[in-house]
Amino acid sequence: MTTQIIEISYLLAAISFILGLKYLSSPETASRGMLLSQLGMFIAVIATLLNHSVVSYGMILVGIVIGSLIGSLLATKIQMTAMPQMVALLNGFGGLSSALVGGGEFLRSQAHLTPYPMTTIGLTVLIGMVTFTGSLIAFAKLQELMRGTPIVFPGQNALNLVFFFVALGLFGYLAFVPTMTPAFWALIVLSGILGVMVVIPIGGGDMPVVISLLNSYSGLAAAASGFILNNNVLIISGSLVGSAGIILSQLMCKAMNRSLGNVLFGAFGQIAAPKAQVAASPDKQATPAAAPEVRSGSPEEAAEIFKKAKKVIIVPGYGMAVAQAQHAVRELAELLQNQGTEVSYAIHPVAGRMPGHMNVLLAEANVPYDQLIDMDDINDEFPETDVSLVIGANDVVNPAADTDPNSPIYGMPILHVDQSKLVMVLKRSMKPGFAGIDNELFLRPNTMMVFGDAKSTIVKMAEALK
Amino acid sequence: MLIMSVTLFVLATFLGYELISRVPPLLHTPLMSGANAISGITLVGAVLVSGTGLTDLSAILGLFAVIFATINLVGGFMVTSRMLKMFKKGTKTS
Domain ranges of chain B: 27-86
The rounded distance, in Å, linking the Cα atoms of A292 and A324 is: 31
Residues of chain B positioned with their CB less than 8 A from the CB of A215: 32, 35-36, 39
Q: What's the burial of A184, exposed, middle or buried (CB within 10 Å: 0-12/13-18/19+)?
A: buried
Please report which residue ranges of A177-206 form alpha helices under DSSP H: 181-199
Q: Do A397 and A341 fall into the same domain? A: yes
- pLDDT cut 70: percent of chain B above it: 96
Report yes or no: A339 and A310 within 8 Å, Cβ to Cβ: no
Cα A307 to the center of its chain, rounded Å: 37
Could you read off the pLDDT of B35-44 as tens digits, one per residue? Answer: 999 999 999 9
Q: Do A358 and A280 fall into the same domain? A: yes
Residues of chain B positioned with their CB less than 8 A from the CB of A105: 49, 58
Q: Classify residue A127 by its DSSP letter.
A: H
Report yes or no: A247 and B21 within 8 Å, Cβ to Cβ: yes
Element (H, E) at A451: strand A447-451
Q: Do A346 and A436 fall into the same domain? A: yes
Q: Do A350 and A453 fall into the same domain? A: yes
In chain A the first and final C-alpha atoms are separated, in Å, by: 71
Q: Classify residue A56 by its DSSP letter.
A: -
The rounded distance, in Å, linking the Cα atoms of A17 and B36 is: 12
Q: Which of A78, A243, A368 lies closest to B88 in CB terms?
A: A368
Q: Which sign does the torsion angle of CA A267, A133, A256, A284 carry?
A: negative
Record: contact A87-B72, CB cut-off 8 A: no
A377 is catalytic: no
> How far is A69 from chain B, CA to nearest CA, in Å?
8
Residues of chain A positioned with their CB less than 8 A from the CB of B44: 44-45, 48, 231, 233-234
Question: Which residue of chain A is at minimal alpha-carbon distance from B78?
Answer: A75
Q: Do A124 and A159 fall into the same domain? A: yes
A442: Cβ–Cβ under 8 A, 6 or more apart, which residues? A294, A425, A427, A430, A449
DSSP string, A384-413: G-SEEEEES--GGG-THHHH-TTSTTTT--
Per-residue model confidence (pLDDT) at position B93: 42
The rounded distance, in Å, linking the Cα atoms of A90 and A94 is: 6
- Select, from the ranges A176-185, A273-282, B61-70, B82-91, the one with the highest average predicted confidence (pLDDT): B61-70
Could you read off the pLDDT of A137-194 as tens digits, one per residue? Answer: 999 998 888 887 788 888 888 888 899 899 889 988 998 888 888 999 999 999 999 9
Name the percent of chain A in helix, strand, coil, to the closest 5.
65, 5, 25
Please report which residue ranges of chain B form alpha helices under DSSP H: 2-21, 28-38, 42-50, 57-70, 76-86
Residues of chain A positioned with their CB less than 8 A from the CB of B30: 24, 30, 34, 356, 360
Final residue before a domain boundary, out of A25, A57, A77: A77
B3 touches chain A (CB under 8 A): no
> How far is A172 from chain B, CA to nearest CA, in Å?
18
Q: Which of B37, B53, B67 lies closest to A55 in CB terms?
A: B53
- pLDDT cut 90: percent of chain B above it: 74
Which one of A370, A377, A380, A395 is the catalytic residue? A395
Per-residue model confidence (pLDDT) at position A285: 41
Q: Do A387 and A451 fall into the same domain? A: yes
Could you read off the pLDDT of A232-262 as tens digits, one per residue? Answer: 999 999 999 999 999 999 998 888 888 888 7
Record: contact B26-A356, CB cut-off 8 A: yes
Nearest Cα to Cα of residue A31 among B73, B88, B48, B36: B88
The rounded distance, in Å, linking the Cα atoms of A263 and A150 is: 11
* Angle, helix A83-109 to helix B42-50, in steps of 10 degrees: 40
Report yes or no: A269 and A203 within 8 Å, Cβ to Cβ: yes
B7 touches chain A (CB under 8 A): no
The rounded distance, in Å, linking the Cα atoms of A179 and A159 is: 28
Per-residue model confidence (pLDDT) at position A384: 93
Final residue before a domain boundary, out of A34, A57, A77: A77
The rounded distance, in Å, linking the Cα atoms of A360 and A27 is: 12
- Residue A131 neighbours by CB distance under 10 Å: 32
Q: Do A141 and A289 fall into the same domain? A: no
State the Cα angle at A214 between B25 and A90, rounded to 5°: 90
What's the domain count of chain A?
3
Per-residue model confidence (pLDDT) at position A151: 82
Final residue before a domain boundary, out of A14, A49, A77: A77
Report yes or no: A387 and A305 within 8 Å, Cβ to Cβ: yes
Residues composing chain A: 466
What is the domain extent for residue A324? 275-465
Q: Do A62 and A157 fall into the same domain? A: no
B6: Cβ–Cβ under 8 A, 6 or more apart, which residues? none
Q: Do A413 and A380 fall into the same domain? A: yes
Q: Do A354 and A228 fall into the same domain? A: no
Q: Which of A231, A240, A349 lies closest to B38 in CB terms?
A: A240
Distance (Å) of CA A15 to CA A22, A33, A145: 10, 11, 40
Could you give the ipTM of this predicted complex?
0.93
One-letter identity of residue A210: V
A347 touches chain B (CB under 8 A): yes
Q: Do A311 and A254 fall into the same domain? A: no
Record: contact B27-A230, CB cut-off 8 A: no
Element (H, E) at A260: helix A260-265
Q: Mapping DSSP to helix (H, G, I), strand (E, B) and coil, where does residue A296 land?
A: strand
Q: Do A58 and A99 fall into the same domain? A: no
> How far is B38 from chain A, CA to nearest CA, in Å?
7
One-letter identity of residue A94: G
Nearest Cα to Cα of residue A95 among A87, A85, A83, A84: A87
Q: In the β-sheet with A387-391, what is the strand arrangement from edge to edge?
A: A372-374, A342-347, A311-316, A387-391, A422-427, A447-451
Report residues of chain A scoring pLDDT below 70: 266-293, 431-436
